[in-house]
């Protein structure tokens, strides 16, 4: 506001004219200060609320709170606190998640956009979601993500809650150990009493199968006693032996000579039923490696 404009405001006030939305430059002999681009205020009695975007101003008295250029009535206090662009009374309100909510007595805390007392034994906050504990004690309750888990009435398997207590878990599923088999988190109905080879069920007494480090191999008839494991590989004991280190196990020929390029003629015919692996080229044990098993 220019000095000429202020002078015109004063002349209009002296002549009894005060156009609508035109702030006076003087009240009761007190010259006013600028409040934004379009307003003035009495600094002895008022405060100035300026919108930082439009740069417009509004004078206000105690009992109001200015937040981001917006005025909120907060009676009973000189100035409240801000929750975004909304003012609030911190004596009985709290700002949670950008929203003003009721403040409860004793140890208030936010849970998402809600508030609660941490001394309240009937509430539990799980990742910003407030739960009422119904049929569950606070001591036994626990959070599973945003959900509440009550061991008295539920079974937790991984991140899944099952509405019955005392169940057996297999991965995130439940299973009956009297009927089913659980192999590395995979449930196999009706396979009780069998063994596990990786995630696959198998019969350890079956001469047509052999498990090598979680890989299940199928053998031709009469080859079970001739086979041995070398890591995940199944090899013929008569022609190959195993060189093992902490990192890997490799088959190599028993007869001295250069490493064989292909062991398919000396390994036993088999298939891998559990999972595929890349074949390792057999070789002699290098210097420093562990000797043959």
Query: What pLDDT, on the 0 to 100 scale, is given for residue 49?
Result: 92
* For range 244-273, the mean pLDDT: 61
> What are residue 244's DSSP bridge partners?
249
* For range 119-146, the mean pLDDT: 85
Banded model confidence at residue 82, pLDDT cuts 50, 70, 90: very high
* For range 237-265, the mean pLDDT: 71
Query: What pLDDT, on the 0 to 100 scale, is given for residue 38?
Result: 80
Banded model confidence at residue 31, pLDDT cuts 50, 70, 90: low
What per-residue string of b and e applies to 81-109 under the rule 16 or more CB within 10 Å gives b? Answer: bbbeebbbbeeebbbbeebbbebbeeebb
Matching residue, tokens 């990786």: 198
For residue 41, the Cα-to-chain-centroid distance in whole angstroms is 51
Query: What pLDDT, on the 0 to 100 scale, is given for residue 72?
Result: 94
* For range 156-164, the mean pLDDT: 86
pLDDT digits (tens, 9 = 90+) for 178-227: 999 999 999 999 888 899 999 999 998 888 889 999 999 988 766 667 88
Query: What pLDDT, on the 0 to 100 scale, is given for residue 224?
Result: 66
Cβ partners under 8 Å of residue 244, min gap 6: 230, 231, 250, 290, 293
Joined tokens for residue 116: 């609660």
Phi-psi region of 146 (alpha: psi -120 to 50; beta: other; left: phi over 0): alpha
If one compares 138 and 262, the residue with the highest pLDDT of the two is: 138
Query: What pLDDT, on the 0 to 100 scale, is given for residue 212?
Result: 92
pTM of the model: 0.48
Joined tokens for residue 66: 């200015």
Percent of the chain with pLDDT over 70: 75
Residue 203 to residue 93: CA distance in whole angstroms:
67
């Amino acid at each position: 506001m220019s000095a000429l404009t202020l002078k015109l405001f004063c002349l209009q006030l002296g002549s009894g004219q005060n156009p609508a939305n035109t702030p006076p430059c003087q009240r009761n002999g007190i010259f006013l200060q600028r409040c934004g681009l379009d307003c003035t205020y009495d600094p002895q009695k008022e405060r100035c609320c300026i919108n930082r975007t439009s740069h417009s101003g509004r004078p206000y008295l105690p009992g109001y709170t200015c937040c981001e250029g917006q005025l909120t009535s907060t009676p009973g206090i000189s100035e409240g606190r801000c929750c975004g662009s909304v003012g609030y009374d911190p004596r009985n309100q709290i700002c949670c998640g950008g929203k003003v909510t009721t403040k409860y007595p004793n140890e208030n805390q936010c849970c998402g956009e809600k508030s609660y007392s941490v001394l309240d034994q009937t509430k539990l906050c799980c990742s910003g979601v407030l739960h009422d504990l119904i049929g569950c004690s606070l001591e036994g309750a626990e959070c599973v993500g945003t959900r509440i888990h009550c061991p008295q009435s539920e079974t937790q398997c991984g991140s899944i809650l099952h509405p019955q207590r005392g169940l057996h878990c297999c991965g995130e599923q439940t299973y009956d150990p009297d009927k089913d088999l659980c192999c590395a988190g995979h449930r196999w109905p009706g396979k009780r009493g069998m063994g596990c080879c990786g995630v696959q069920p198998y019969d350890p007494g079956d001469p047509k199968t052999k498990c090598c480090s979680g890989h299940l191999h199928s053998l031709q008839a009469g080859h079970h006693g001739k086979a041995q494991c070398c890591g995940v590989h199944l090899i013929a004991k008569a022609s190959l032996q195993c060189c093992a280190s902490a990192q890997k196990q490799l088959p190599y020929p028993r007869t001295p000579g250069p490493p064989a390029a292909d062991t398919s003629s000396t390994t036993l015919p088999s298939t891998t039923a559990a999972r595929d692996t890349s074949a390792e080229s057999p070789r002699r044990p290098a210097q420093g490696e562990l000797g043959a098993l």
